[in-house]
């Protein structure tokens, strides 16, 4: 069993010339890794949405310096606010149609059902599940209107399949994202639009470390076959695969990015 991450995989031009939108993509984590990977894979434009203006500005500066300022745009976007979702997509469509949308925004938390309030439940469902629905609906309508064979990739979680203590709201939301993915794929297929999802188990990044105890993180790592968490870019690699022509026959699929055993 290896606890070391593998060597970073270089880009292969899988998204050459594509226009990509990613939610919750500033600062760190899977969304940020997906933005980097898309740029490395040749995306002509990557538009990032996030609720944190400061982190967005830092991310735009960093990625702009690295890949070219004309290839990176950002907008403050809360996926629970439909007008902000529309503004993010407007920014992406300034100059051409959207090819790829990665719905990465989600919200978790740890609380027993016995102590959970309606407000805690509603907030996680609104961001994680309904937010994904809002983005799917908005970008799907635009892709249909533009006549583009676009691709949508949603971020689910293995918690949608596997029980974990104090995660009922998050598990329900992520299971909903899986079902939403399958249903949206059927609605969008006549228009040539593909919809798939990734389902990561444990991906390590600074935000996760802030909200999870070291003891729980070690327990979760021990459940993984490789004895480690995934690097965010390892999850992003699968997102890029699903966004690319290499997965042209796949739609309505939920792909586990996991080494977790029962």
| Residue in the structure block whose two tokens are 């702009």 | 64
Q: If you count them, how many residues does the chain have?
A: 262
* Cα 262 from Cα 251, distance rounded (Å): 27
| Annotated catalytic residue, options 8, 170, 246, 249 | 170
249 is a catalytic site residue: no
* Cα 217 from Cα 110, distance rounded (Å): 13
Q: What's the CA dihedral at 112, 118, 121, 127 to 10 degrees?
A: -160
Contacting residues for 223 by C-beta, under 8 A, at least 6 apart: 202, 260, 261
* Cα 43 from Cα 40, distance rounded (Å): 7
E strands, 18-71, in order: 19-23, 45-50
Which DSSP letter does residue 190 get?
G
* Cα 4 from Cα 208, distance rounded (Å): 19
| Residue in the structure block whose two tokens are 């470390």 | 209
Short-list 52, 74, 75, CA closest to 63: 74
Tell me the two tokens of residue 18. 């594509």
Helix segments in 68-155, DSSP class H: 82-93, 118-124, 131-146
Residues with catalytic roles: 170
């Amino acid at each position: 069993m290896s606890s070391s991450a593998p060597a970073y995989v270089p880009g292969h031009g899988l998204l050459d010339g594509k226009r990509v939108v990613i939610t919750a993509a500033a600062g760190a984590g899977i969304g940020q890794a997906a933005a980097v990977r898309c740029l490395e894979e040749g995306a002509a434009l990557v538009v990032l949405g996030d609720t944190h203006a400061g982190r967005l500005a830092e991310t735009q500066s960093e990625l702009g310096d690295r890949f070219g300022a004309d290839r990176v745009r950002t907008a403050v976007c809360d996926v629970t606010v439909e007008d902000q979702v529309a503004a993010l997509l407007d920014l992406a469509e300034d100059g051409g149609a959207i090819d790829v949308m990665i719905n990465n925004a989600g919200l978790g938390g740890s609380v027993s059902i016995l102590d959970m309030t309606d407000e805690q439940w509603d907030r996680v469902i609104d961001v994680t599940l309904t937010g994904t629905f809002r983005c799917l609906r908005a970008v799907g309508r635009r892709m249909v209107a533009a006549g583009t064979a676009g691709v949508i990739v949603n971020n689910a979680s293995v918690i949608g399949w596997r029980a974990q203590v104090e995660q009922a709201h998050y598990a329900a939301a992520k299971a909903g994202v899986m079902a939403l993915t399958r249903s949206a794929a059927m609605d969008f297929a006549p228009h040539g639009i593909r919809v798939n999802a990734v389902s990561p188990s444990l991906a390590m990044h600074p935000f996760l470390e802030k909200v999870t105890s070291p003891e729980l993180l070690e327990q979760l790592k021990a459940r993984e076959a490789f004895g480690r968490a995934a690097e965010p870019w390892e999850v992003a690699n699968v997102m890029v695969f699903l966004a690319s022509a290499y997965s042209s026959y796949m739609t309505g699929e939920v792909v586990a990015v996991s080494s977790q055993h029962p």
